[in-house]
Structure 1
Amino acid sequence: MVPTDIGVCLLYRDALMLVIDKPAGLPVHPGPKGGPTVTDHLDALRFGLPRRPQAAHRLDRDTSGCLVLGRHPKALARLNTLFADGRVTKTYWAIIEGDPREDSGTIDLALGRRSDDPRSWWMKADPAGDPSLTRWRVLGRDAGRTCAWLELSPETGRTHQLRVHCAEMGWPIRGDTIYGNAPRHGGPGLQLHARALELPLYPKKPAIRVEAAPHEHMSDSLATCGFMIS
Structure 2
Amino acid sequence: MTIHLDRQADLDDAITTLVKQDPRLKPVLQVAGMPALRRREPGFAGLAAIVCGQQLSTASAAAIWGRVSAAFDPFEHGAIKRARTDRLARLGLSAAKIKTLKALAKELAAERLNLDVLAEEDADAAHATLTALHGIGPWTADIYLLFCLGHGDAWPAGDLAVQEAMRIGLGLKARPTVKQMAPLADPWRPLRGAAAHLWWAYYHAVKRREGVIGDDK
TM > 0.5 between the two?
A: no
The structure in which a higher percent of residues are strand is 1
Output the TM-score relative to the length of structure 1. Answer: 0.28
Larger RCO (alpha carbons 8 Å, 6+ apart)? 2
The structure in which a higher percent of residues are helix is 2
Output the TM-score relative to the length of structure 2. Answer: 0.29
